[in-house]
Structure 1
Amino acid sequence: MMYESFAYVYDYLMDEAPYEQWKKWIITKMTEYSSGQKILDLACGTGEISVRLAREGFEVTGIDLSEDMLTVAQQKAFEAGLQISFFQMDMRELSGFEDQFDSVIICCDSLNYLLAEEDVFKALKSVYRQLKPGGILLFDIHTLYKVNERFAGHTFADNGKDVSYIWNSFHGKEAGSVDHEISFFIRQNDCYERYDELHQQRTYPLERYKKWLMDAQFQLLEVTADFTENKPEDFTERAFFVAKKPS
């Protein structure tokens, strides 16, 4: 998924995203499972989570497919005085790193942007190769409930002073998929410039993710719901996975 002009208003649209909860979850699980300090942040976007983890003393490398997103991320790290390496790369084809990582994270439902089952599995296998033995993978995904009941058929909008948007979500062609049609308006002096983008996501039953992890040779450590330690239920909107590359 290439975000193009969307990259430059992404942080505005994600202003209320629970980044601190993601950070806390990552640090908690890395501590609990005795992972080290070297993190690979896949689909890092504008680097918000990368920067927060780097401020906590972690050695972070960020990967994203969008050059525009990475430009924003690099500027954010520079302004914070942090040393973070960012690379434009596809999470399905990770390569070129000198060392393996203690942890790999895929936050903000980024794995849901892979629309084909084989691509999700390919990404998990790619992650496995980049982890040290004993390293952990942490990722979150939208549940089928979130996609089918909370997204599809709904409209989201915000009328801000400098940026406004209309966000329409529809059922996609494939089961468990959703199309987000986004029109946003950016103030330019005395007028607004309009941009339109289509974003597509797809999710699967939790058991499917568990099988993919097992087939990719991971050891599944836990699956929890909505930033809690509870197991996912019928109305869970976001599921969190922790898996380990065996030592």
Structure 2
Amino acid sequence: MSPRPETDDGYGAPYSALAQVYDRWMAADRVPYDQWLTFTGKRFAESGLQVRNVLDVACGTGMTIKALQDHGYEVTGVDASAAMLDVARARTAPGTELICLAVPDERLAELGPFDAALVCFDGANYLTGQDALAATLSQLARTLRPGGVLVFDLSTRRTFEEIAAAGEFGEDFGDFAYIWNTRHEPDTPAYEYLVSLFVAEGELFRRSVEQHAQRHFTRDEVRNALRATGYTDIAVSDNYTEREATDTTRRETWSARRTTGSIPR
């Protein structure tokens, strides 16, 4: 998810520069959008609801929105980065509602109601503030209709530790390149990434540096937050598959349903 736009130390807003090359970068990593769509489609079917309209939080450049729209869903997108939404606007169906909003935000709860909501590709890992995960889950519960489906993923502690262990790394794509540095405060779940991006402008390259903050969560933290904010049928699996999540899982996929009763605030 594109996180809150506020920055420190003069760094650019997250995804402000990355937006222009983000899709090419992700294509190089072979992001399995089709696998994500297959998994979420199964969760929709299992709910017994006729899922028609979907809220895509941390929608980024609109890849998941476009995939959902191609399968007949009505989709509203939310992201904190205006630059990413500009790319999404060019990709998605004319008239798609795209809202620039950094969650948690009470305005999220005023949207909808939706049959389902998604937070894909580590978007929830950007919820670093105290109780930010629970606040966002509560707002999503209130934007879902009773019985509505929530699917989201989280990179695990194992993933964060592997990235931190790699130290500084980067890649050259020809007309753009990046250098990635990880900062981690020992004995905490919080990580900061400095991403230096170099994009060709004529014969020169323009350098931009973005600061990203993420964190990992234990399964108990996630499960307790879901229970406390009005969800049932809670399940977790390994990276958008039916495999059980284990200690070696690098990305967990969570699914749950909004309770049919009142939602805690």
Query: What's the TM-score once normalised by structure 1's chain length?
Result: 0.92
Q: Secondary structure at the match of 1:196?
A: strand
Distance 1:34 1:224 in 2: 20
The residue number in structure 2 matching 1:65 is 80
CA contact (8 A) 1:92 1:126 kept: yes
Say whether 1:39 aligns with 2:54. yes
Distance 1:224 1:200 in 2: 25
Deviations 1:11-61 (A, max 9, x none): 122112222221221112112223311100001111111111111100000
The residue number in structure 1 matching 2:175 is 162
The residue number in structure 2 matching 1:208 is 221
Q: 1:153 aligns with which of 154, 165, 177?
A: 165
Distance 1:6 1:64 in 2: 14
Q: 2:39 aligns with which of 19, 25, 28?
A: 25
Distance 1:117 1:24 in 2: 33
The residue number in structure 2 matching 1:135 is 148
Say whether 1:224 aligns with 2:229. no
Change (3 A) 1:145 1:222: same
Distance 2:95 2:40 in 1: 20
Say whether 1:107 aligns with 2:105. no
Cα RMSD after superposing both structures: 1.6
The runs of at least 4 consecutive aligned structure 1 residues that moved more than 3 Å come to: none
Distance 1:90 1:190 in 2: 36
Change (3 A) 1:205 1:7: same
CA contact (8 A) 1:151 1:178 kept: no
Q: CA deviation at 1:174?
A: 6.5
Q: Aligned AA for 1:190?
A: E
Deviations 1:206-241 (A, max 9, x none): 111000000102114311012221221111100011
Q: How does 1:86-101 map to 2 (within 5 A)?
A: 86-93=98-105, 94-97=108-111, 99-101=112-114
Q: CA deviation at 1:203?
A: 1.2
CA contact (8 A) 1:91 1:123 kept: yes
CA contact (8 A) 2:55 2:117 kept: yes
Distance 2:187 2:120 in 1: 23
Say whether 1:199 aligns with 2:240. no
The residue number in structure 1 matching 2:188 is 175
Q: CA deviation at 1:73?
A: 0.7
Q: Secondary structure at the match of 2:247?
A: coil
Q: Secondary structure at the match of 2:236?
A: strand
Query: What's the TM-score once normalised by structure 2's chain length?
Result: 0.86
> Unaligned stretches of 5+ in structure 2?
6-14, 261-265
Q: Aligned AA for 1:39?
A: V
Q: CA deviation at 1:101?
A: 0.3
> Unaligned stretches of 5+ in structure 1?
none
Q: Aligned AA for 2:26?
A: M
Q: 1:122 aligns with which of 122, 127, 135?
A: 135
Q: 1:84 aligns with which of 75, 96, 112?
A: 96
